[in-house]
Structure 1
Amino acid sequence: MLPVKPGHDEFIPQSQRLNHSKSKWAGVLLFATITGLILWLFWQASYVQPDPTWANCGHSATEARTNGCIYEPMLRSWIPPECYFKEPSDEYDPFSDRAWFLDKDLTRPATPEDLEKLRRGDDLKGYTRYFHDEHCLYALRKLAIAMDKKVPLLDTKTASIMHSTHCTTSIAEKLVVAEASNLTFPFPGFPNHSSSPIMFQGCVPTGFNS
């Protein structure tokens, strides 16, 4: 291959450079995804999933409260007490530091009563401009804390390889597009909002002894 002369990159079409950058990131993400999937399969083969009946938050906020579950705002999930730990939840206040809406077009602002329902974890779907990526990074941070603390049980959202893969892929795609095209939010081709439904998690073993 001939050496690249100084300034040679200037003659490469922008679309070709962007495609090369995307291909490089796609390769990295594919490798990370395959590695994570292999580790997850080994984990699943080594540990038996617990009976969900003893670590189940139900399908509504009322059921979750009855079952003693704890609401974690940044996960937008009710977590069974058996696998709940508060870190780093106290560092976040997502329902006070940004505007929330009741529609994906962000035209129906949430009332104080709506915000209180979101804050309590009631059965209400909210929308906001910035939440999804922060939620993703929060879950990855919580996973690292769980491994550091060697917790014996972890909630199914934080432990999900599918969720972690979705998060890393989504954030990486946005970074590649933004860096290559010098864009600011909202990025073309990506939603200008984050939808935030309420969810209900179970517990899975981590392999650490209690």
Structure 2
Amino acid sequence: MNESAENLLSGYRKSCDDLAGCFLGNEPVTNVQQVTKRHFYKRSVKVLPWMLYSVAVLILLTAFYGLGYYTHAAYPKGSVSKSVEWNYCGNTSEEALKKGCILDFIPGAWVHPDCYDKELEEEFLRLKEWHWYYDKEAQHELFEDSIRRTGGPNPIYVSQEYHILHCAYTWKKLHRAVIRQTPIDSHIGSYKHTQHCLKTLTEPSRNTTLPAPSGFYHIFTSCTSPQNCNQNTYPPD
């Protein structure tokens, strides 16, 4: 019998003497093989719960990081690169410019660069020779470059046709964001804006005799995924 086995058996016999005997099943423990089996069994009973706990933790971590990877992969290059808080573009045109926001002519709002669809905006601006005005009577015209740089007066007045096509293109922009899994500005993403556009398209305008009856107010947005959009307050008609 080697020394380590004898030490194991000796220690086990001592503990058995203190307890007035040890048995494996119904037989007394008398040899190293029995002690070794019992020792292994006791260690297994202690280790098993920790093994199960470790496996459970591993499964949870795998699921957690797997979900994180999926979420990240669903928003590819060009999506929101950081958490963009509500009202990210501030409350004034000056603040919006300092934050790097862009005046997007489709929503008529300041938007985060991640929510700016330049290609679609260019398509919208090519539809017609658009005009923007200080007044509903279209007596004082504004220019695109000036509006882009400063935000223009509040509100800016446009034709009813402009307003209708603005609505059509906000829906197109939202649909593109859903298909591409890219973010959308909180104004276009607002269900309240969709309701407003539905009313614009289905109800006759109260001011059809005016050349520029529709007022576009200053709007400052955040940038989020379409499914996270909430209803925004919308300025009066």
The interval holding the TM-score normalised by the smaller chain is 0.5 to 0.7
1:149 is aligned to 2:194: no
Contact conserved, 2:84 with 2:224, CA < 8 A, in 1? no
Partner SS, residue 89 of structure 1:
helix
Aligned length: 141
Unaligned runs of 5+ in 2: 1-82, 229-237
Q: 176, 200, 223: which one pairs with 1:170?
A: 200
- Aligned partners of 1:119 and 1:51: how far apart in 2? 22
Higher relative contact order (CA 8 A, sep 6+): 1
Q: 90, 93, 101: which one pairs with 1:69?
A: 101
CA distance 1:138–1:95, change in 2 (3 Å): closer
Q: 103, 124, 127: which one pairs with 1:92?
A: 124
1:52 is aligned to 2:85: yes
Q: 127, 133, 137: which one pairs with 1:101?
A: 133
- Aligned partners of 1:60 and 1:148: how far apart in 2? 32
Contact conserved, 1:101 with 1:126, CA < 8 A, in 2? yes
Give the fraction of aligned pairs with identical amino acids, expressed as a percent. 26
CA shift for structure 1 position 128: 2.4
- Aligned partners of 1:206 and 1:137: how far apart in 2? 17
Code of the aligned partner of 1:128: V
CA distance 1:94–1:85, change in 2 (3 Å): closer
CA distance 1:155–1:105, change in 2 (3 Å): same
CA RMSD of aligned residues (A): 2.8
CA distance 1:131–1:120, change in 2 (3 Å): farther
TM-score, normalization by structure 2: 0.51
Contact conserved, 1:87 with 1:142, CA < 8 A, in 2? no
Contact conserved, 1:59 with 1:200, CA < 8 A, in 2? yes
List, as ranges, runs of 4+ consecutive aligned residues in structure 1 with deviation greater than 6 Å: none
1:206 is aligned to 2:226: yes
Q: 137, 147, 161: which one pairs with 1:118?
A: 147
CA distance 1:96–1:121, change in 2 (3 Å): farther
Q: 143, 156, 160: which one pairs with 2:190?
A: 160
CA shift for structure 1 position 160: 0.6
